[in-house]
Amino acid sequence: MDEDSHCTAERELLETVSRITTSSTTSPTDEEQNQPKAEMSYEVRKENPEKDDLQESNASLSPNSSMTTKELQEYWRNEKRQCRQAKLLFEIPSTRIVEHHLSKYVMYKIIILQTGSFDSNKSVIERRYSDFEKLHRSLLEEFSEEMEDVSFPKKTLTGNFTEEIINERKLAFKDYLRILYAMKYIQRSKKFIDFLTRPELQEAYGCLRGGQYTKALEILLEVIGLQERLTRGNPVSIVPTLCAIVVCHKDLENPASAFEYGEKALSRLHMHTSHRYYIPLLETMITLAYELGKDFLSLQEKLEEWKAKKDPIRVFTLKELAVREYVQ
């Protein structure tokens, strides 16, 4: 189901809730409050059967059945704002020539901006010609029809480092990324997302494995924003990054920040309790909650409930899982 349809359904539901709230002249009982919400939820599912998969993967953002009418109205108001999904813009303002041992190449600085946002929402990465070329070959294998008319700047035997060629490629790569992002299937593909995030994530996890938690955290916090914007339809995919941030904050003795990002990760795993990160994350959150004086009993209950349903298996700690990510 596309974004417009998703937003339309939510807008209609928000208007329905609004009418219910406005027309109500007496304070409804709990039973009366729950009934219209259940009916509305059913109507949305009935009109949008394709939405089921999206609702499951996005369960953390689903309205809770125990919400009051006012809370439900506020929920859909927030959802409506999020529905105005800002598109991403790609700019390549500058380059630099790198000479490393016997190799020489051009690095293109790519600024990824969210439309209608301020500079705080931008992401900055660098890629070289060979990175773009590898992406292009990979996409041709999976999306041959979609890529049929997408042009790619060819290699030249000479003049690769002249100002004219570099400027031509800056413009060509900017258009190339814009065209790819405009194609829904490519935009959401792992290959395209990896091109924009994987090198930075590999560096971050390398720092984490080396005990350089401050550096790892700095990179992860830069990448997570871009990951979230690129993977809105699949929030579970950023759980490893969120958990790596938890590990860094925990080892840097920032339990409050670790708990904050742990809550974000748990919310994305609400309907995915078989995910490899679920139990290690729960165990870490119990420890953090106890340390911070927060309620850990509800987390403990979830852990015991999971153990009662599953056969005993060896579970890695959250840190053990994190250091295994992006191992070559």
pLDDT score at 30: 45
pLDDT at 43 over 60: no
* pLDDT tens profile 203-234: 999 999 999 999 999 999 999 999 999 998 89
Select from 79, 59, 60 the least CA-distant residue to 15.
79
pLDDT at 50 over 60: no
Quote the CA–CA distance of 212 and 261 in Å, as a whole number. 19
pLDDT at 64 over 60: no
- In b/e form, how buried is each residue of 197-214, taking b as 16+ CB within 10 angstroms? bebbbebbbbbbeeeebe
DSSP designation for 252: T
CA 55, 59, 61, 62 dihedral sign is positive
* pLDDT tens profile 230-246: 998 899 999 999 999 99
Any bridge partners for residue 104, and if so which? 99
Identify the architecture of domain 82-188 in CATH: 2-Layer Sandwich (3.30)
pLDDT confidence bin for 194, thresholds 50/70/90:
very high
Greater pLDDT, 22 or 260: 260
Domain boundaries, the chain: 82-188, 197-327
pLDDT at 73 over 80: no
Tell me what percent of the residues of the chain surpass a pLDDT of 90: 59
Greater pLDDT, 269 or 313: 269
Tell me the mean pLDDT in the region 26-47: 41
Q: Which residue has the tokens 């039973």?
A: 31
- Residues comprising the chain, all counted: 328
Cα–Cα separations (whole angstroms), residue 210 to 41, 207, 281 = 48, 5, 21
pLDDT score at 279: 94
CATH of 197-327, one of 1.25.40.10, 1.20.120.1200, 1.10.10.10, 3.30.365.10: 1.25.40.10
pLDDT score at 101: 83
DSSP designation for 162: S
